[in-house]
Amino acid sequence: MQQPIRRALLSVSDKTGLEGFARNLSQMGVELLSTGGTQRVLTEAGIPVTGVAEYTGFPEMMNGRVKTLHPKVHGGILALRDNPEHVSDMEEHGIEGIDLVVVNLYPFEATVAQEGVSRAEAIEQIDIGGPSMVRSAAKNHAHVGIVTDPADYGRVLDELQKRGGALSDELRAELAFKAYALTARYDGAISRWLFEQDGAEHDGDSAFPSGFSMGGVKAMDLRYGENPHQKAAFYTTGAAGEPSVAEAEVLGGKALSFNNIVDLDAALALAKEFKEPFVCVIKHTNPCGAAVHEDIEAALEEAWSGDPISAFGSVLAFTRPVNLASAQFLVDGNRFVEAIIAPSFDEDALDLLTHKPKWGRSVRLLACGEYGPASRNPREVEVKKVVGGFLLQERDLTAEGQDEFRVVTEVAPTTEQAAALAFANRIAKHVKSNAIVLTGPRTVFGVGAGQMSRVDSVRLAVSKAGDRSAGSVLASDAFFPFPDGVEVAMDAGVVALVEPGGSVRDDQIIAACDAARIPMVFSDARHFRH
């Protein structure tokens, strides 16, 4: 049977729920120790509290940098209560046992996510005493409870009341696990930030650090993973510095699934390429439709026309608020989508989508705030897990416009064709390799994705586009290795092409276009997406 908690140390940056929690502890007869701002809040609330400086006989100093780094604090936390030597040391040095530690950390991640934060300001938000106490308490969780999340205050109080002022072994172990997850994430965030500042100067001029850690906080358990037999959960890693699925507000619909989150992230990534009214239709992370238009509802209708069959059960992203006309288009006919992400939803559109039969019960609606090409955070890295390790890479945020295109054929594209090629190229960047996209000036007609040979991707895109292949332009995410893909495209009526170039057979590809008097431009930038 665990001994009741007699003494608690509270030192928190996030003071959510602090007063009520501390008052309940005090009413249970728990002596409270505290520091700095936490102590002031408790004192002003009339809750009995002893300052750590009074307990240790050593004042806070250096603008609060040194407060709890003292043997009477850490000895009181780390001492094994069932070890006679430890008990003797406590008695000899006047150390009182601290049975509960309530600590959350300086908001480093939130601080560095703010624009214009100086290096000195960020450094001051690196907590030292807090993580030290968290680690001490978590190490000694056999005897000490460690609470790092205000969301756990209620659970702790309930158990203290039910167990005569003690915490169970199970809850202390769970809280210790959560505490170490917090410090791991915290240290990882600091390490990554320091490397972003000047780490490459000290790490062989590498774009990546010699060590990399990434912590997360579980946002939700998911119904299952990619398949029903796989368990899954969604974790958030802190402020992304841009609108994201992780930080979006869920306004309605079923709980998000594993596949929903992956597709929503892909949809948002594509939509961020555009500042114009734009809608994309995503299926299995690939766009099956996308369009730019003066009106967002017209962009939706054009995007849906790209592949109406595949659009059923898709995920949508809007660059403008979802209005009533867009919502009405979706609920009419036999249309249905899994999820929608947009900057916001007009009130009447939200009302329709959340109350229409079939829609209201199912469709996930996420509002993520305004975004566009300028909202993307270049410091965010992409992480890919493999068995035994993981891969890091920079995000592909390049966006070649028609001014960067290099005409390699005898015939140059018209102004309209060049604009259409630039549109198609931006779409192709977000299609699984091998990627082929057929478009008009601002609408996707057909997509060939994920085929093992590029010519098969062309055939698939042409098949999807149907009659609209005639007069369309084509974008390829990588070079054509043989003329066959270009020939299939030209036979279907494609009138202009963009590809990166770089094949040993570029001359053959260009010659095929010249023979047909079809313009081709090189972007000189590959956009593989595996």
| Fold agreement between 247-373 and 402-522 | yes
Active site residue 139: yes
Beta strand 278-283 with 249-252 is: unpaired
Using the 8-state DSSP alphabet, how is residue 61 labeled? B
- Coil, strand or helix at 281: strand
Question: Is pLDDT of 264 > 80?
Answer: yes
Edge to edge, the sheet with strand 249-252 lists: 249-252, 364-367, 337-342, 314-318, 278-283, 286-292
Q: Please name the helix (run of DSSP H) or strand (run of DSSP E) that holds residue 489, with its range, or none.
A: helix 484-491
pLDDT at 1: 55
Is the domain covering 247-373 a CATH 2.102.10.10 domain? no
> Which pLDDT score, from 0 to 100, does residue 199 have?
54
How far apart CA 317 and CA 256 sit, in angstroms, is 15
Q: What percent of the chain lies above the pLDDT cut of 70?
A: 98
Average pLDDT over the chain, rounded to an integer: 90
Residues 6+ apart with CB under 8 A from 170: none
Amino acid residing at 15: K
What is the topology classification, in CATH, of domain 7-193?
Rossmann fold (3.40.50)
**What is the DSSP annotation of 318-343?**
ESS-B-HHHHHHHHSTT--EEEEEES
Distances (CA, A) of 130 to 135, 190, 239, 360, 385: 9, 14, 21, 45, 31
pLDDT in tens, 301-318: 999 999 999 999 999 999
Tokens describing residue 39 = 């102590």
Lowest-confidence pick of 87-91, 151-155, 485-489: 87-91
Q: How far apart are CA 352 and CA 229, in angstroms?
A: 34
Catalytic residue among 15, 86, 254, 284: 284
Contact present, 30 and 6 (Cβ < 8 Å): yes
Backbone angles phi, psi at 12, to 5 degrees: -125, 140
Using pLDDT thresholds of 50, 70 and 90, give the confidence band for residue 378: confident
CA distances 183 to 108, 127, 132, 427, Å, are 12, 10, 9, 40
pLDDT per position as a tens digit, 185-241: 888 888 877 777 765 454 455 677 777 877 778 889 998 899 999 999 999 887 778
The predicted-structure confidence for 344-375, as pLDDT tens digits, reads as follows 999 999 999 999 888 888 899 999 999 989 88
Gap between the Cα atoms of 282 and 305, Å rounded: 13
Per-residue pLDDT, 365: 97
Q: Mean pLDDT lowest for which of 13-17, 120-124, 135-139, 464-468?
A: 120-124
Phi, psi of 389 (to 5 degrees): 180, -170
Residue with tokens 């906080």: 217
pLDDT tens string 504-515: 999 999 999 999
The question of whether 74 is a catalytic residue gets the answer no
Q: Which of 15, 139, 254, 356 is catalytic?
A: 139
CA–CA separation, 13 vs 214, rounded Å? 22
Q: For position 198, what pLDDT does the model report?
A: 66
| Cβ atoms of 69 and 96 closer than 8 Å | no
Query: Could you tell me the residue ranges of all domains in the chain?
Result: 7-193, 247-373, 402-522
Residue length, the chain?
Answer: 530
Task: Report residue 147: phi and psi, to 5°.
Answer: -120, 115
* Fold observed for domain 402-522: Cytidine Deaminase; domain 2 (3.40.140)
Q: Please give the structure tokens belonging to residue 37.
A: 């701002």
Q: Tokens 């510095």 label which residue?
A: 241
Give yes or no for a contact between 383 and 389, defined as CB atoms under 8 angstroms apart: no
Closest CA to 223 of 255, 188, 176, 178: 255
